[in-house]
């Protein structure tokens, strides 16, 4: 027999419902929140008071000019709990802080030659970078999330093809100890795809191709990130597009990652076109977003890839990542604040 939900469970659900409603359509009056959620005005008022006390919502000055008692609009607290995003790139490190709305409040990206460096020293450098953006943003940090260019488990790195010394490193745990806050970890292309979904102009179904020193993809279906049962979905760079081609670090031959060289746009576009044609056929997505590109090559590559896919039926749209989406770094930080909005009481 399944036990009915207790008062605490129901209140936790309703608290998240109200905060999510404000986040989706701010600014909103308490009365409008009640209308949109179906909760009574008394219940909404009590929950809003709790969210204000927790520093998650603020109440603006009452709007005047209309008939009746003026309503005081609610919005997310711009000075409330924030998310800390971190990125371990092949040749760079990054850190940023976003507020509850997902707006970037501080960000730093620095070049870093750490392919052969001791991971512990690199984690120290990331923690120092994090301290700098935290001081600049001056917001309370709810947690952190790390973006890495490879396959990850719960907290440890499984495989980073271009950073071989990191296999098995508990990067999230190491950062949590250094930062003093809970720290998650995810693939950088997955996090960039989420940023594109949350802050870009994409439909609910698309493939985000991250193109840099390595190549990865984030797959979004029905507005949800698809990672696969083992978290390995989206390994676009290791799709074979030239059987018997040059050997790859993954153990295969002729992988896409080995054939893309952005100094040769035509060859790169042909290789990308072959891999993306297969991905479109398999996933039935109609939008491809290219990200991680230098602005100088972004549009020429987009046009060349679009030409490679021009004969597909139904047609496929190829776009370049919206700079406002912010990529993996913003996606990592926004993952934290999205978790706060889904569970405003922290699961207590």
Q: For strand 104-111 and strand 74-76, is the pairing parallel, antiparallel, or unpaired?
A: unpaired
Sequence-distant contacts of 178-183: CB under 8 A, at least 24 apart: 178/123, 178/124, 178/126, 178/127, 179/84, 179/127, 179/130, 179/141, 179/144, 181/84, 181/141, 181/142, 181/143, 181/144, 182/143, 182/144, 183/86, 183/143, 183/144, 183/145, 183/146, 183/155
Q: Decide if pLDDT at 40 tops 80.
A: yes
- Is the pLDDT at 17 greater than 70? The verdict is yes
What's the length of the chain? 348
Query: Rounded to 5 degrees, what angle do the CA atoms 71, 75, 79 make?
Result: 135
Strands 287-291 and 206-211: parallel
* Contact between residue 89 and residue 149 where contact means Cβ atoms under 8 Å apart: yes
CB-CB contact of 131 with 111 (8 Å)? no
Question: In the CATH scheme, what architecture does the domain 202-321 have?
Answer: 2-Layer Sandwich (3.30)
The pLDDT tens digits of the residues spanning 162-198 come to: 888 999 999 999 999 999 999 999 999 999 999 999 9
CA angle at residue 153 from 150 to 159, to 5 degrees? Answer: 35
Residues of the chain with CATH 1.10.10.10: 7-76
pLDDT at 301 over 90: yes
Specify the CATH architecture of the domain 82-191+327-340: 2-Layer Sandwich (3.30)
pLDDT at 69: 59
CA dihedral sign, ordered 37, 43, 44, 48 = negative
pLDDT at 64: 64
How far does the chain reach from its first CA to its final CA, in angstroms? 24
Instruction: Give 260-290 as a DSSP string.
Output: --TTSHHHHHHHHHHHHHHHHHHH---EEEE
The SS3 of residue 223 is coil
Q: Residue 330: its pLDDT value, please? A: 96
CATH top class, domain 7-76:
mainly alpha
Residue 316 banded pLDDT, cuts 50, 70, 90:
very high
Q: Where in the chain is the domain with CATH 3.30.420.40?
A: 82-191+327-340, 202-321
CB count in 10 Å sphere of residue 4? 7
State the pTM of this model. 0.92
């Amino acid at each position: 027999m399944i036990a009915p939900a207790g008062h605490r469970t129901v209140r936790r659900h309703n608290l998240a419902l109200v905060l999510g409603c404000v986040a989706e359509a701010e600014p909103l009056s308490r009365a409008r929140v009640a209308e949109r959620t179906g909760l009574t005005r008394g219940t909404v008022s009590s929950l809003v008071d709790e969210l204000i006390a927790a520093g998650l919502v603020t109440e603006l000055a009452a709007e005047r000019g209309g008939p009746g008692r003026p309503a005081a609009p609610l919005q997310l607290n711009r000075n409330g709990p924030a998310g800390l995003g971190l990125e371990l790139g092949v040749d760079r490190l990054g850190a940023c802080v976003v507020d509850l709305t997902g707006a970037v409040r501080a960000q730093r990206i620095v070049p870093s030659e750490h392919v052969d460096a001791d991971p512990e020293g690199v984690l120290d450098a990331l923690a120092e970078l994090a301290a700098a953006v935290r001081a600049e943003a001056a917001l309370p940090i709810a947690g952190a999330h790390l973006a890495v260019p490879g396959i990850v488990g719960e907290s440890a790195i499984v495989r980073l093809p271009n950073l071989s010394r990191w296999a098995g490193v508990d990067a999230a745990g190491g950062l949590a100890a250094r930062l003093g806050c809970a720290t998650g970890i995810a693939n950088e292309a997955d996090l960039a795809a989420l940023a594109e979904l949350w802050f870009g102009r994409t439909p609910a179904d698309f493939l985000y191709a991250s193109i840099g020193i390595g190549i990865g993809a984030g797959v979004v279906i029905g507005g949800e990130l698809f990672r696969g049962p083992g978290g390995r979905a989206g390994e676009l760079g290791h799709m074979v597009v030239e059987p018997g081609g040059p050997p790859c670090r993954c153990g295969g031959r002729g992988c896409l990652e080995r054939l893309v060289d952005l100094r040769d746009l035509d060859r790169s576009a042909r290789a990308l076109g072959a891999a993306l044609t297969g991905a479109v056929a398999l996933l039935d997505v109609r939008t491809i977003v290219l990200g991680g590109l230098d602005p100088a090559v972004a549009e020429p590559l987009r046009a060349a890839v679009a030409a490679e896919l021009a004969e597909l039926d139904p047609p496929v749209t190829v776009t370049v990542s919206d700079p406002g989406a912010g990529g993996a770094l913003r996606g990592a930080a926004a993952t934290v604040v999205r978790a706060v909005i889904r569970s405003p009481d922290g699961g207590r």
